[in-house]
Structure 1
């Protein structure tokens, strides 16, 4: 596949995820390097949706460590029990936060972040390998359509772990 996304305009998010999915699948299915795949997934999501920040925090050294991302500089290390990323890791579930200021223990890596969705990514043995963190500079910007669309993309990464 050419390193170019075909992104329709004037479509709802669910449809946009449907159009984006095979393009991301094509990018990652023949690439064996995890860093390259995570970088391309982050870039594709940022380009397609214009999210404020998209990236991965990888489980390392007993915490979540910043991995490939797109957006402004970010927190480098997050304890498993802190913030939305830590909560997603600990609960092993997707968390949608409509207003980050209302989330107890939110870590403000950027004051421009207003809402957030975080999804855990699992190893084949069932442990959490990393989380996908997506931030928006708009309040209440994420819905079940994002959770479903991003979960499909996460499955592509999980097959590579």
Structure 2
């Protein structure tokens, strides 16, 4: 069982006195990728000019631009809510950046009340992300939002 409170605290410690958002997003993606089992991708897409643009991540190369409503990431951004998918092959319009991915969770991030981007996590295991994972990752993302408030580009 993953201790998401500990992961949040580790994120806050890593970001203490670090003012650059890319540095903090990079460390956040590495922390998740190396702390959680069964992942093949963990990272961020950033909302820029009406679409999601690839940000810091861990894993294989990924799609560089995702439009609103496209795939799991675009759907989470458009609906501004977490989307947890047990089997991505059953998700209409799924974007397969890595054909090894079978499940996915995407959580929107905000800065100053506006959509900032999304945390995207993929796994080769079907049903990898549980409701407990969702709650824990949403806790992690709320901490990331607090960090982003004090960061600059």
TM-score range, shorter chain: over 0.9
Runs of 4 or more above 3 Å deviation: none
Deviation (angstroms), 1:30: 2.0
Deviation (angstroms), 1:61: 2.3
- Work out whether residues 28 and 156 of structure 1, in 8 Å CA contact, stay in contact via their aligned partners in 2: no
**Deviation digits for residues 71-128 of structure 1 (CA, Å, limit 9, x no counterpart):** 000000000120000000011100100000000110011100000000000122x221
Aligned to 2:40: 52
- Work out whether residues 8 and 143 of structure 2, in 8 Å CA contact, stay in contact via their aligned partners in 1: no
Aligned to 1:73: 61
Aligned to 2:87: 99
Structure 1 unaligned runs (5+)?
1-11
Structure 2 unaligned runs (5+)?
none
Aligned to 1:83: 71
Aligned to 1:146: 133
Deviation (angstroms), 1:19: 2.4
Equivalent position SS for 1:120: strand
Choose 21-30 or 38-47, whichever is displaced more.
21-30
Q: Does 1:120 find its partner at 2:105?
A: no
Equivalent position SS for 1:113: coil
- Work out whether residues 52 and 67 of structure 2, in 8 Å CA contact, stay in contact via their aligned partners in 1: yes
Q: Does 1:64 find its partner at 2:45?
A: no
**Size of the alignment, in residue pairs?**
147
Aligned to 2:24: 37
CA distance in 2, matches of 1:31, 1:148: 26
TM-score (norm 2): 0.92
Equivalent position SS for 1:75: coil
